Amino acid sequence: MDLPIFTTPSELGHYLQSHRSQAIGFVPTMGALHLGHQSLIDRARHENTLAVVSIFVNPLQFGANEDLDQYPRQLEIDRVICETAGVDALFVPTPESMGINNTLTQIIPPPLMLSGLCGRTRVGHFQGVATIVTKLLNIVQPDRAYFGEKDSQQLAIIRRIVTDLNIPVDIVGCPTLRAASGLAHSSRNQYLSPTGKSQAAVIYRSLQQARAVANSGEVHAPSILAAVMTELATVPEFELEYLELVDRHSLQSLDTVENSALLAIAGRIENTRLIDNIIIEPHRLNYDLE
């Protein structure tokens, strides 16, 4: 059967009304689907009886100088990917049907979660994400919603919003999928040349250096961060935007790592902004060896 596509919240709502007895898994996306999205879809299918994917390039989360107009749009390819992956319903709303205008009610995440990482430079971005994700969760009302751990600040903020606003959904974080080089899959990778892609592999390589240092028992942030910087220096084309070691839930900066911490990085290769992160657990290796 052809994959049904719905373009307004009311059309989708009508379809879902007759499927409410099923466990609904929801994967919100902005399209340009890659292997990372496919892993979210596979998990949503596996853990639920109905899988819904949305594709909406959300204008609210792009700043004035960002790539809203250039953001890759490939609806027909995405539709085929969803159909092949066994998605049950595709939601592709128009900005009008999502009520996008200057007077839209906005969801403002806790300011402390916005002061670092991507929030520092992408002013308004997470407010736009929070607003659209809240709307999508209210429209779809899924049992579970799936988000990539690559967008670690987004994931922490969405978890917090769902808790604070008592939205009845399980937020499932899914591991980052990587190319053989270690480069995290991202819709923006398609802006990179082959050289750029191989240079961008330094991002994950540098995070792994930090993990190795932490695994050897180092708990002090400056030493862990220094390991990343040493490896980054091997690829001068990489323009670092930030490198931070933070609590993975509150996103507050850490001087030392007690149990686990989020090590997050952003920067540019060939003027394409890339982000990545890993969880650092200095005592984990010792613990595993006990």
Asked if 27 interacts with ligand PAF (CB under 6 A), we say no
Asked if 28 interacts with ligand PAF (CB under 6 A), we say yes
Looking at the chain, how many residues does it have? 290
Binding flags for ligand PAF, 183-202, as an x/- string (CB under 6 A): --------------------
Q: How far apart are CA 282 and CA 217, in angstroms?
A: 5
Q: What is the closest distance, in whole angstroms, from the C-beta atom of residue 94 to ligand PAF in the complex?
A: 15
Residues forming the active site: 37
Q: Please list, in sequence order, all residues whose beta carbon lies within 8 angstroms of the beta carbon of residue 18, skipping any fewer than 6 positions away.
A: none
SS3 label, residue 290? coil
Name the segment binding ligand PAF (CB under 6 A); options: 26-34, 67-75, 100-108, 244-252. Answer: 26-34
Name the segment binding ligand PAF (CB under 6 A); options: 25-33, 64-72, 242-250, 271-279. Answer: 25-33
With respect to ligand PAF, which residue has the nearer C-beta, 132 or 254?
A: 132
From candidates 29, 152, 153, 199, binder to ligand PAF by CB under 6 A: 29
Binding flags for ligand PAF, 133-152, as an x/- string (CB under 6 A): x-----------------x-
With respect to ligand PAF, which residue has the nearer C-beta, 44 or 254?
A: 44
Q: What is the closest distance, in whole angstroms, from the C-beta atom of residue 26 to ligand PAF in the complex?
A: 10
Asked if 157 interacts with ligand PAF (CB under 6 A), we say no
With respect to ligand PAF, which residue has the nearer C-beta, 143 or 151?
A: 151
Structure tokens at 104: 């839209």
Phi, psi of 14 (to 5 degrees): -65, -45
- Residue 46: Cβ-neighbour burial (10 angstroms; 0-12, 13-18, 19+): exposed
Q: How far is the first Cα of the chain from the last one, in angstroms, to the nearest whole number?
A: 53
- Residue 6 in contact with residue 47, Cβ under 8 Å? no
Q: How far apart are CA 214 and CA 254, in angstroms?
A: 14
Structure tokens at 12: 């989708």
Site for ligand PAF in 59-98 (CB under 6 A): 61
Does the CA dihedral 109-114-118-123 come out positive or negative?
positive
With respect to ligand PAF, which residue has the nearer C-beta, 24 or 133?
A: 133
